[in-house]
Amino acid sequence: MLSEQIAALVQYGISSGLLPECEKIYTTNLLLDLFREDEYTEPETVPEESLENILKHLLDEACRRGIIEDSITYRDLFDTKIMNCLTPRPSQVQQTFWQKYQESPKAATDYFYKLSQDSDYIRRYRVCKDQKWKVDSEYGEIDITINLSKPEKDPKAIAAARNSKTAAYPKCQLCMENEGYAGRVNHPARENHRIIPITINGSRWGFQYSPYVYYNEHCIVLNGEHVPMKIDRAAFMKLFDFVRQFPHYFLGSNADLPIVGGSILSHDHFQGGNYTFAMAKAPIEIPVTIPGYEDVESGILKWPLSVLRIRHKDPERLIDLADHVLQEWRNYTDADAFIFAETDGEPHNTITPIARRKGDMYELDLTLRNNITTKEHPLGVFHPHAELHHIKKENIGLIEVMGLAVLPSRLKAEMAELKKFILAGKDPASDETLAKHADWVKAFLPRYSSVTEENIEHILQQEIGKVFVKVLEDAGVYKCTKEGREAFLKFVRTL
């Protein structure tokens, strides 16, 4: 059985292009060593199975032999070790990437993205389980996802992590030191992970893909040093340096303050990829002219968050203007619009920037953010308000800003149960888990003359989408109203 599955995995490696034929014996022996096995019999026929099934058989065998505990965390640590036996060394990956780059930047990223999937760093069979759909809105077609590709922690691993000593290596999950790291119960295995070193704005950076792939070719560009995120002139320079090198990708940054920032503020990084979000398609609603930058096409975007779009053929002009906008916004207060640059010495204003190329034009979207809190809104005034937390409570980061909802995995089970309650005419308030959705259901159900088993899924998807649009509107520092536009223009006039 073990010989057959090892043979199947090695054949997968050869067929996918991970392994050259000449490394067949070498890889077989690496795998035998992992399983503490001295004997091997070449099977007459190699079973044709998916990578997911091959790995399942091998992990079951590792559990049977007592090599690992049978839990999702330990299985993930071990299957990464298995796949590292097939994955080319970093130097080989880098060499091939830059050879492909000579053909075109897209050829290079196509190669690297496929390798990241073939090596199981991106687990295709988990990513495909994510629930995805689109919802029409007055701001364009919004993307909705319920993320199921990130595995839940199992109780054994949680207990083990609690009892394990705190490690300072790697410093975080974005550090370059993750490449090839075996992982532990409180840090994911990265043995089959590869990073392409790149130079951004004269400094050492890394280019990799996200293992969870929230959208097509979801990449992460990370600082070679473990330094905090910072939105400044240099950040704009880095964004444009990247899109100059990879013109088919956009690149953006989370904001650099808590609440409105990303999940990892301790390590400077950007996110990008080969995907067109609703925000990128949004038109300029109010063109504006900024003194000293009359040659730069500028305007307020028709978008629920407060976005100033600037466009020019010369990225240096956009960098200069973006820095000007940032400096003004950092220090801007308008009490009538409840915008405060700082309270009690704590700064509140920052920007979420997104850069892209469109033909010979460079484009930069500057999303104005503010993280002030109040007693009424302790998680943030410009954050999803409490009545929306049953769907989305988490921070609104770069990906959501652009129009893609990354919703928690709990919603899959909750929506499945909610369907049953609605079809049976039962009140969700009677169920402890579903009670938080009761007011929402009560509000939207009367809008539908007929709710059946055939349309309930579509109804829930549409209504979740509507909630997410409200989430985005809550995050906008200036609302899409007459008063909101006037307050936005009041800031623009300070430029």
Cβ(310)–Cβ(318) below 8 Å: yes
Give bridge partners of residue 219 from the DSSP assignment: 209, 272
From residue 478, alpha-carbon distances to 239, 308, 335, 368, 369 in Å are: 25, 12, 13, 9, 10
Copy the structure tokens of residue 92.
């080989």
Number of Cβ within a 10 Å radius of residue 419: 16
Specify the 3-state DSSP secondary structure of 199: strand
* Chain centroid offset of residue 255 CA: 14
Q: Quick one: pLDDT at residue 261?
A: 74
Helix (H, G, I), strand (E, B) or coil at 222: strand
* Amino acid at position 187, single letter: H
Rounded-to-integer distance, Cα 472 and Cα 465, Å: 11
The whole-number pLDDT of residue 91 equals 98
| Whole-number pLDDT of residue 147 | 86
pLDDT by residue, tens only, the chain of 495 residues: 899 999 999 999 999 999 999 999 999 999 999 999 999 999 989 988 999 999 999 999 999 999 999 999 999 999 999 999 999 999 999 999 999 999 999 999 999 999 999 999 999 998 988 999 999 999 999 999 998 877 665 555 555 555 566 678 999 999 999 999 999 988 999 999 999 999 999 999 999 999 999 999 999 999 999 999 999 999 999 999 999 999 999 999 999 998 887 678 899 999 999 999 999 999 999 999 999 999 999 999 999 999 999 999 999 999 999 999 999 999 999 999 999 999 999 999 999 999 999 999 999 999 999 999 999 999 999 999 999 999 999 889 999 999 999 999 999 999 999 999 999 999 999 999 999 999 999 999 999 999 999 999 999 999 999 999 999 999 999 999 999 999 999 999 999
Question: Number of C-alpha atoms within 13 angstroms, CB side, residue 453?
Answer: 2
Cα–chain center distance at 416: 25
Q: What is the pLDDT, as a whole number, of residue 156?
A: 57
Read off the DSSP letter of residue 65: T
Q: What residue type is assigned to position 283 of the chain?
A: P
How many other C-beta atoms can be found within 10 angstroms of the C-beta atom of residue 273? 25
Could you read off the pLDDT of 128-172 as tens digits, one per residue? 889 999 999 999 999 999 988 776 655 555 555 555 666 789 999
**Pairwise CA distance, residues 380 & 221, whole Å:** 28
Per-residue model confidence (pLDDT) at position 48: 86
Write down how long the chain is.
495
Q: Note every long-range contact of 340-344, with CB atoms under 8 Å and residues 24 or more positions apart, other chains counting.
A: 340/370, 340/372, 343/372
Cα torsion angle, 157, 159, 161, 165, sign: negative
Are 287 and 226 contacting, i.e. CB atoms less than 8 angstroms apart? no
Question: Nearest to residue 320, comparing CAs of 294, 297, 293, 300?
Answer: 293
Cα 238 to Cα 193: distance, rounded to the nearest angstrom: 24
CB-CB neighbours of 227 under 10 Å: 10
Bridge-based pairing of strands 307-312 and 361-370 is antiparallel
Q: Is the link from the previous residue into 384 a cis peptide, with omega within 30 of 0?
A: no
Residue 345's Cβ-count burial label (10 Å; 0-12, 13-18, 19+) is: exposed
Q: Which of 231, 228, 282 is nearest to 252 (CA)?
A: 231
pLDDT given at position 162: 56
Distance in angstroms (rounded) separating the CA atoms of residues 415 and 433: 11
What is residue 353's DSSP assignment?
E
Question: What pLDDT score does 185 carry?
Answer: 87
CA distance to 11, 30, 59, 253, 278, per residue, from 38 (Å): 20, 11, 18, 50, 56
Residues 63 and 67: their CA atoms lie apart, in Å, by 6
SS (H, E, C) 218-240: CEEEEECCCCCCCCCHHHHHHHH
Q: Say what the pTM is.
A: 0.93
The full 3-state SS of 129-195, as one line of letters, equals CCEEEEEEECCEEEEEEECCCCCCCCHHHHHHHHHCCCCCCCCCCCCHHHCCCCCECCECCCCCCCC
User: For residue 164, what pLDDT is reported?
Assistant: 60
Q: Are 257 and 371 in contact (CB under 8 A)?
A: yes
- According to the model, what pLDDT value does residue 453 have? 94
Span between the terminal Cα atoms of the chain, in Å:
71
Closest to 308 in 3D by CA, of 477, 75, 125, 106 = 477
